[in-house]
Amino acid sequence: MGEETILISEGDLAEAAGADAEAYEVQLLGALMWAPEHLAATAAGLIGPADFYRPAAGELAAVIIERITDGRDYHPAAILAALTATGKTSGQHGTTLARLLTAATTSPADPLHLPALTYLVAAAAARRAYTAAAVTLDQAARTAPEARLFEQLLTIGHTARARENRMTRIRAWAGHTTG
């Protein structure tokens, strides 16, 4: 008997790919703010705002990562001060950022788990990126001129290769192996 094909919608794919990440994002942000400098610097070099499913989490990550990269304090009070100084704590969006910062600050995540949390968030982002690539390729196959299809496939492939190279570095840091 042949395998049954299960069809799910693009929205279902995006929701499923983001569900795992949201559970770990707050923990990652908290662990990042409490981590020793050497762990924080490594994580900041491997993860970026685009890896976060929720835009507010990505925005908060950007502030934390920038401060780590610049060698400035990155503990929760310093992050709140940076958000306040740039006007990012006002309005509804500011309330969302402040609540997210509070949740991350009080998260029970152990900073020593930062490599594993970095891996979990990046892996979920990679899955979302592969889903988006599949949708893009499907759309191109249906609508792009035939003469451009291979070029678009190569572009998607180069992006996927760069993503996989980064994931290889993250897996190695987190102690994960493939196979």
* Window from 4-8, 76-80, 113-117, 165-169 with minimum mean pLDDT: 4-8
CA distance 80 to 83: 5
For the structural domain made of 10-174, what CATH number should be given?
A: 1.10.860.10
Its sign, for the CA torsion 39, 44, 48, 53, is positive
CA distance 150 to 141: 10
Q: What's the whole-number mean pLDDT along residues 149-160?
A: 95
* Long-range CB contact pairs, 93-100, < 8 A, 24+: 93/56, 96/56, 97/56, 97/59, 97/60, 100/26, 100/29, 100/56, 100/57, 100/60
pLDDT at residue 6, as a whole number: 39
pLDDT band for position 2 (cuts 50, 70, 90): very low
Q: What is the model's pTM?
A: 0.85
Its sign, for the CA torsion 106, 51, 45, 84, is negative
Q: What's the whole-number mean pLDDT along residues 75-80?
A: 98
Mind giving me the DSSP string for the chain? -PPPP----HHHHHHHHHHHHHHHHHHHHHHHHHS-HHHHHHHHHH--GGG-SSHHHHHHHHHHHHHHHTT---SHHHHHHHHHHTTTTSHHHHHHHHHHHHHHHT----GGGHHHHHHHHHHHHHHHHHHHHHHHHHHHHHHS-HHHHHHHHHHHHHHHHHHHHHHHHHHHHHT----
pLDDT band for position 18 (cuts 50, 70, 90): low
Q: What's the whole-number mean pLDDT along residues 84-89?
A: 96
**In the chain, where are the structural domains located?**
10-174
pLDDT at residue 179, as a whole number: 53
Question: Residue 98: which of 110, 81, 111, 114 has the closest Cα?
Answer: 81
Six-digit token string for 162:
């760069």
Q: What's the whole-number mean pLDDT along residues 19-44?
A: 92
